[in-house]
Amino acid sequence: MVENSGASAPRLFPKMEVKALGHGSPTVATPAVQVRRGRKHHAQGIVYARENKWKQALREFEEAARRAPDQPNFHYAHGMALCHLKRFGDAIKAFERELAITPDHGSALAELGACLARTGRTREGISYLQKGLRLAPNLPRAQYNLGLALLTENRRKEAIDACDRALEFDAAYADAYRMRGLAYAMAGEDEKSYSDLHAAAALDNDNFQVLVTLGAQHDKNSRVHQAGRLFEMAAKVAPNMALSQYAYGHFLINNRMYELGLSYINRAIELDPLQPSPYLARALGYLGQGLIDEAMGCYSRASELRPDSVEIAGAQLFTLQHKPSVTKADLLDAHRKWGALARHQSPRDRVDFNNDPDLRRNLRIGLVSADMHRHAVAFLTLRAFEQLAAIGYEIFCFKTDRKRQDDDFSERYKAIAKSWRDVSDLDDQALAALISEQEIDILFDLAGHTAGNRLTLFAMRAAPVQLTWAGYVGSVGLDTYDGLIADPIEIPPAHDEFYVEPIIRLPDCYVCYHPPTQAPNVGPLPFLESGAFTFGCFNRPAKINAEVGRVWSRILEQVPHARILMVYGGLGEGSTREAIYKVLESGGVMRDRVDLVGEHEQSKLLQAYAERVDLALDPFPYSGGVTTLEAMWMGVPTVTFVGDTFAGRHSATHLTAAGLGNFCTDSIEAYINLAVDWTRRPEELATLRAELREKVAASPLNDEVLFGNNLDAALRSLWQDWRTLRLANQVSYI
């Protein structure tokens, strides 16, 4: 049945502006004294309505409309009271009188439509409901009534769309879930029907735990919008339960809504300060806002609560890479501590595999990753794997997170793979069995300590040769890896002692760059047209710290009219922008010299380089990776301060491979001087800009054949080492 009762008063009485009388309205204005009396009755009626005393409310609204029949909203309120008392015929007349006074009263049109549908005039009712919602689309009850009327006419898809809109405006609308569930059932979509009916039942019973569970299931299956609504409902239904607040806050933070997410996480911690998970979520929120010390403090608190937790020990490792004072020794120590906790009790011996040791056959390589789509990891590895496939390697892809949507890059992985499997639901034992069944020779970890990793699989050893590459910034911390792929710039030989894994150095560069597929033209140096020099930094806010601010401040002091442009997806949120401004201000950079732009689409980021950026400034100690490569592709070189850690040397290796080693500096003073010096050589910078894309295209960074041959040689050498070990082991048993 069409709903006309059971709603709260705030929905029923939207604030309306007083409008001029429309066609058909009384020609004689009501005396002022009667208007005042009518308003008094109207106000008292609203009080009764909010108390759900509809008989008393009806008397007051009826009297208000009698005393001042030309006043906007009086007949509407009268009609609403009649609806609640199920006097739909009288309500229709009241709404018609309201529309005679205010023809564009969206709520009155919608309620009139609901009454018509309720009294059997469904098609006429649909017309009025649609007309009302065109004027006032944000009425969840009207959207629901439209959906129900449409369903009565067997227009299921349109009914579902109406319910979707109702739930967008009111995520806790149980009847909308129930009706949409019915529509799905009628269409034979049983799984969706069950989910919606389950949600409706949970709302009816204030069962927030069911809502959290359903939300987690939707989130796991990439139904992000539905998951968000369920988590939001749980938070509303149970505002004093830590789990519901944590679940919604964590979801928001994972979707880069840091400010709102942190408000729910803070509430969860307030309700239950002894659970570690909210502190981990808070750390992610702070990391997204560039508040590294605050994030590390959250990890420390979580570790105090669960000192033996592998998850907590691992969660902080990525954040630690951003800390300005971090050293190679600090990182090694932290990763070793995690490795000691994560190490499998009895990892499989690497010679305890029955793979064919023949050096002449095509090797089988497995890729374990959540990022085989348009992601930084794919931009650095896809072309290499395509080249290996062309050489003759047999490739098997193991996708570890179904939430990541497949795209055109995913299709390219699939095209070169003998097998593509979504292994999101497989535990380590089952995945190891699958890898063994497919006789994988060399297993690549493309995640490290990032989302979607399967480090516990690598800890137990699932293949004769295990490698980590491109997905993480340095040592993973496990001795079950047989190599970490790098190059002489990324990890100089003198740094080997700070890595748990053996270093596999490729001769030119450690990645094979995939340039943007639809990049705009480079364009001229913006300074030549604007007369104002613009430095750019399109890195994650987490990479910005007070020390970076101090250095940038000294650069801006020497270039008085220069500005800094920062572009990144999370910068669209107010609190994240404010956090970055404060970090920079703590280093002396005034906010009026910084432009923060919230944008995540690659095409728009590239366009910003083309139109606004003259020279890029690298952050430290965590330098740019793909960001630096994209800048070069758009003709923009990056000034970098080469650090001691893996994360601090990305830009250096990319710039060097492209022939721009002269943009790498070994001290803060040199970094400042080089950035300032280029502002004084705009013509030279413009010439470099015009040539840089071609320069990168002709470099080892973009030579997939050269890179593929280098990687092939390294893999063959690793396989030879394993073969030697295997044969020696067999001899020892003779």
560 plus 692 within the same structural domain: yes
Q: What pLDDT sits at residue 154? A: 87
Q: Say if 94 falls within a structural domain.
A: yes
Paired with 189 in beta bridges are none
Q: What are the strands, taking DSSP E only, across 446-543? A: 465-468, 483-486, 503-505, 534-537
3 plus 95 within the same structural domain: yes
Query: Against a cut of 0.95, is the pTM above it?
Result: no
Residue pair 570/288 in contact by the 8 Å Cβ criterion: yes
3-state secondary structure of 399: strand
Residue pair 348/435 in contact by the 8 Å Cβ criterion: no
Tokens of 266: 């803070």
651 plus 589 within the same structural domain: yes
C-beta contacts of 130-136 below 8 A and 24+ residues apart:
132/106, 132/107, 132/108, 133/106, 134/106, 135/104, 135/105, 135/106, 135/109, 136/14, 136/106, 136/107, 136/110
Instruction: Judge if the upstream peptide bond of residue 621 is cis by omega within 30 degrees of 0.
Output: yes
Q: In whole angstroms, what is the distance from residue 725 CA to residue 731 CA? A: 10
Q: Say if 329 falls within a structural domain.
A: no
Residues 6+ apart with CB under 8 A from 483: 465, 467, 468, 501, 502, 503, 504, 714, 718
570 plus 440 within the same structural domain: no
Domain boundary among 120, 136, 152: 136
Q: What pLDDT sits at residue 16? A: 35
Residue in 672, 679, 674 with CA at minimum distance from that of residue 553: 672
560 plus 676 within the same structural domain: yes
561 plus 698 within the same structural domain: yes
433 plus 559 within the same structural domain: no
Q: Say if 727 falls within a structural domain.
A: no
First to last CA, the chain: 83
Q: Say if 155 falls within a structural domain.
A: no
Residue in 229, 231, 225, 227 with CA at minimum distance from that of residue 246: 231
Residue pair 557/675 in contact by the 8 Å Cβ criterion: no
DSSP assigned state of 31: P
Q: What pLDDT sits at residue 326? A: 95
Q: Say if 347 falls within a structural domain.
A: no
Q: Say if 81 falls within a structural domain.
A: yes
Domain boundary among 136, 155, 188: 136
Query: 187-201 pLDDT, tens per residue?
Result: 888 888 888 888 887
Q: What pLDDT sits at residue 729? A: 82
What is the sign, positive or negative, of the torsion defined by CA atoms of 335, 336, 342, 346?
positive
Residue 43 belongs to domain with CATH number: 1.25.40.10
533 plus 676 within the same structural domain: yes
Q: What pLDDT sits at residue 732? A: 59
Domain boundary among 117, 136, 155: 136
579 plus 688 within the same structural domain: yes
Q: In whole angstroms, what is the distance from residue 421 CA to residue 397 CA? A: 6
* pLDDT < 50 stretches in the chain: 1-27
Paired with 640 in beta bridges are 664
537 plus 490 within the same structural domain: no
545 plus 449 within the same structural domain: no
Q: Say if 266 falls within a structural domain.
A: no
Q: Say if 283 falls within a structural domain.
A: no
Residue 482 belongs to domain with CATH number: 3.40.50.11380
Looking at the 3D structure of the chain, how many domains does it have?
3
- From the CA atom positions of the chain, what is the Rg in Å? 32
DSSP assigned state of 699: S
Query: 465-519 pLDDT, tens per residue?
Result: 999 999 999 999 999 999 999 999 999 999 999 999 999 999 999 999 999 999 9
587 plus 479 within the same structural domain: no
What range does the domain containing 456 cover?
A: 368-505
Residue pair 533/561 in contact by the 8 Å Cβ criterion: yes
